[in-house]
Every structure is written in structure tokens, then in C-alpha cells.
Structure 1
Amino acid sequence: MNYFNYNGKIFVEGEAVIGADSRALRYGDGLFETIKAKNGLPELEDEHFARLWNGMRVLQFEIPKHFTPDKLHNEITTLLKKNRHENIARIRLSVFRGDGGLFDAKNYLPNYIIQSWPLPENSGEFNSNGLVLGVYKEAKRSCDILSNIKHNNYLPYILAALKAKGEKWNDAIMLNNHDRICDTTIANIFLIKEGIVYTPSLKEGCIAGIMRRKIIKDLADNWQVIENEITLKDLQNADEVFLTNSIYNMQWVQRIDDTSYSNQHSQKIFKTIFATIL
């Protein structure tokens, strides 16, 4: 039996806790974090909570003094024990406003749901079989104050994921409203060309990924990393492509449409950054 946490109380999975007046259901009025946990503890939690708090400020939540990272940490670890997910697990922390209409919210305080699921033992290892991706062009990512946070208005990503499933891709690349590379449905994207690492800048509308930030920081001493505008032509001409997120760390992309990629540098980067934490 699996359990979840709603506003500090434990419920059995499937039990109803949100009513029809919820602004989360009506408007997607909220945001979320997806966090990996190992040995009963969340990884990179300071970075996740910093992004969450920044997102709440952007969405104009009123954050009470008792709503703190320490409080959420304790409730996450308690839920992991309750669910017996203390080995390796995925946590979803959703924060949202309560009930009300568009102009008459009951209040602007954060409500929250914490869920957890077990992950495979090999989660986070380098994928010897490269991913196959496609480019989703029907709905674009905007470049605005909401772009870098993980808010609950996820329709472009949902539609892209449906396209990926139909086309039998492992993931779909998202474009921004300038038709440049943004990210994918679940990851940030990096290119390698002639030994230089490139990734879309945050101004291009991509999620401010926790693993994206770690990769850029950890590579700074030995690699040239450029955050910039990346076009479809740049993608096609790249030597290597890899994706990053907090759950699987880093994955090599073998093919995008009709273009294939090697993984020589990607393997070196993976071993340098992740060999000591697996």
C-alpha cells in the first residue's frame, strides 16, 4: 500500500483530498519539484528548495513562517519511511493555492502534496543504448517570467510527450517561440561540438534544471561551456547530444530524426561528474 502527504497529514493513495473549487484543478495554479532520494534522504535538496521558493515568489504565494525547507525535508523523509522507499526513490512535491475563482482566491497560502515511488537500482547509470528523440513543433515554449520554473501549466510538454509516445521516441525536443531549441519534455539538453559544450541559456525559456546547473558548474574547470541560442541547424551539426535531469542524471542521445551522434565526450563527462555518487 502506498501513501501520500497532503498538508502535513498522511493519506492512503487514491483517497480524495482536493475539491472541485481547487484553483490547482481549475487553473493549474501551482508548481512542483521532482526530487531523487537515496538511502532515505533527498538529493540536492537545497537546490530544489531554492528553486521552489523562487517559483513561489514568482507566482505571488504568501509564504507563512512555519512553511520552511526543514519542515518539508522532515515530511519527505517520514513519507519515504512510511512507503518503505528508503533505498532509491522519486519524490514529487506539488505546491498549489487553495480554493477560489480567478479573482477571489480564498487565500494565497501554499497547500502541498508529497508523493514517492521506488526507482530501479540502476537509475542514474549511463545508458549504453542511446535515446531516440524527435522535435516537437506544434506548440512552443514562451520566454517569460514563468519559463524557468516548474509550474503546473504543462500543456505543451503533455502534447509533446503524447507525440513522442505515438512516434516511439524516448523523448521530444521542445522549441521556444523563436523556433530555437529550448529543452525536452522532462530534461535539459546539451550539445557537444568540437569539444565545446553548449546548452540553451535560461533566456531561451528552458526550465532552470537542478542537474543542468550542476553540470555547468562541475564542468567549468576542464571544459568550455557556452549558454547560448541553439538552432535546429546547430542540433543537426552537433557531434554529441545528452540530456540531464534530477532523476536519471545524464543520458546520451543516439539519434534525433535522421541524425546520429557519438558518445565519446559524453561518457567522459558522466564518469567525471557522477562516478563518485552512484
Structure 2
Amino acid sequence: MVNFNGNLIPQEEAKLSITNRGYSYGDSLFETIRVLNGKVIFWEDHYFRLMSSMRILRMDIPMAFSPEYLETQIKETVQSKSLTNARVKLQVHRKEGGLYSPKDRGIEFIIMATELKEPFYMGKDQAYEIELFKDHYLTSGLLSSIKSNNKLINILGSIYAEENDYANCLLINENKSVVEALNGNLFLVKGNVIKTPPISDGCLNGVTRKQLINIIGKLEDYTLEEASISPFELQKADELFITNVIVGVQSITKYRKKEFENTTAKSLLGKLNAHARLS
């Protein structure tokens, strides 16, 4: 089942017009959300990021779009597929009409759910080699921080990674700073300092990124820095890891000739699981 504007319908009956603005112009946003044992984890952060992103794109937010309403819609969609643990995609697009200038700033929404087998973040030990993707740059600034449907750089980077047998790639901005991975935020560990690029560099305002920043900020053994990361710092790091709401924490094992530890990443993964249970 698919939830279209609050109505549950069979997936094969869910159709979009060819003039849909998300398709025609990328005039759309989405949230990737994890449901754990029927509970929408980190929902408050997802909700406020969605509202903030809709305001940035100057979409008209419906009065009904309360946290309670959308959370209920997510849960009903998950339950309609008899799922306990699920990956949910909540997509918002502006209503049809107009060219670049929309005829109607109102929105419609779609919620889809697929099964996740593991209830918690597992942190699998596996080779995970990455490389820089330098064919195209992210642009620093506010628009890059939202989850819009404009993901061409991520698509091209994913093709590059697949063609060259890399597990992932790191994206850079116009200032040649390392911004994020294809599918999540980047953290770098050097000694007792953990760095992650600032939002102003163009990285996604990630929900899991926010959770880890809060967790690290309470640790006595580490200092957190939100600061630009140069490509030269990557090979000097003790650890590199990627975060997103589905995987949690993904350790990078190799970048070029440098191989990395994963001690800090494993510790943070355990703390993230505990935090998720309490959210």
C-alpha cells in the first residue's frame, strides 16, 4: 500500500501525472525515516527539518501538517504492509501547474514503506573503500542542506563508484572542501578530535548527524569540531565514517593507500542504538 495525501491505495494504482512538478522541475522534497518496532525514531528532528525545508522552498504548508498527523500517516502506512521495522520515504511535491513559476504553492504528499530486517543498527564489519568524486561539485549554501529531489551529483557519483569498484564516494564543494558521502554525512577522527563539515559547506542537515553531534558533545574523551575538511586530511585521519538514518554509522576501511580503524565508530554506534530506543 501507498499513502497518497492521506489515502491508502494499492501501489499498482498509485499514479502521478506526467506534469507532476517533482518530475518536471525537481520541485519536491523527501525524508527517509526509520521505523523501529512500530516507533518512528527521531521523528521530531525529521518533522522540523521537513517544515524548515518546505519554508526554504516557499511551499504552502497545510494546516493539517502537525507532527501528530504526519506521524499517524507514517504508522498507518507501515501497518498496512504488516511491517514492524521499516524504511519509510515521505515525499512532498508542489501541486501541478505553471512553468518555473508555480501556479499553486500548495503541496501533495506520498508515503511509501519497505521492510528492514534488522531492528537496530548493526555496524557490519566489511571492506568499505571510498574515493573522491571530482567530476562535479556540490554548491555550498542552504539549498544543498535540504533533501530535495535534485540528486544528479549523487546519481553520477554512484555510477562512478560502481564502475570503479568503490563502496562509496565523497563529494566536494566549489572550494574543494570535502562535504559528505553520496548517501550520508562524513565524520573524521584524528586523536581525540572528531570533525564533521559544517552545514555552510553544503552538507545535508542530517538527522543522524545531529544525533551524533549531541552524543559526542557529552563525551569527555573527545572534542567535536564542525569545520571544513580538506582532501589532504583524509589520509591523515585515524578513522572515517559515514552516517545516515538507515545504516546508522558506516565505517570506511580504506581511502587510497590509507587503511582505517573503527574503534570510535563502533562505540558511537552502540550509543546511537541506545539513543534510538529512547527517542
TM-score (norm 1): 0.94
3-state secondary structure, aligned to 2:235: helix
CA distance in 1, matches of 2:121, 2:183: 14
CA distance in 1, matches of 2:275, 2:102: 47
Counterpart residue number, 1:126? 123
One of 7, 13, 21 as aligned partner of 1:15 = 13
Counterpart residue number, 2:146? 149
Q: Within 5 Å, give how 1:86-105 maps onto structure 2.
A: 86=84, 88-105=85-102
CA distance in 1, matches of 2:206, 2:93: 20
Tell me by how many angstroms 1:85 deviates: 1.2
Q: Within 5 Å, give how 1:47-86 maps onto structure 2.
A: 47-86=45-84
CA contact (8 A) 2:36 2:120 kept: no
Q: Which runs of 5+ in 1 are unaligned?
A: none
One of 22, 25, 28 as aligned partner of 1:27 = 25
Tell me by how many angstroms 1:265 deviates: 2.3
CA distance in 1, matches of 2:95, 2:267: 47
One of 175, 197, 203 as aligned partner of 1:178 = 175
Q: Please say if 1:225 is aligned against 2:224.
A: yes
- What is the RMSD computed on CA atoms of the aligned residues? 1.6
Counterpart residue number, 1:216? 213
3-state secondary structure, aligned to 1:96: strand
- Is the alpha carbon distance of 1:108 and 1:277 closer, same or farther for their aligned partners in structure 2, counting shifts above 3 Å? closer
- Is the alpha carbon distance of 1:24 and 1:277 closer, same or farther for their aligned partners in structure 2, counting shifts above 3 Å? closer
CA distance in 2, matches of 1:67, 1:52: 10
- Is the alpha carbon distance of 1:274 and 1:123 closer, same or farther for their aligned partners in structure 2, counting shifts above 3 Å? closer
- Is the alpha carbon distance of 1:166 and 1:221 closer, same or farther for their aligned partners in structure 2, counting shifts above 3 Å? same
Deviation beyond 3 Å, 4+ runs, structure 1 = 275-278
CA distance in 2, matches of 1:73, 1:254: 37
CA distance in 1, matches of 2:141, 2:211: 23
3-state secondary structure, aligned to 1:56: helix
For residues 112-156 of structure 1, what are the alpha-carbon distances to aligned partners after superposition, in whole Å with 9 as ceiling and x for unaligned? 110000012265112222422121111110012201111111111
CA contact (8 A) 2:32 2:89 kept: yes
For residues 6-41 of structure 1, what are the alpha-carbon distances to aligned partners after superposition, in whole Å with 9 as ceiling and x for unaligned? 111112123342112111111010110000001112
Report how many aligned residue pairs link the two structures.
275
Tell me by how many angstroms 1:254 deviates: 0.4
Q: Which runs of 5+ in 2 are unaligned?
A: none
Identity %: 28
Counterpart residue number, 1:165? 162
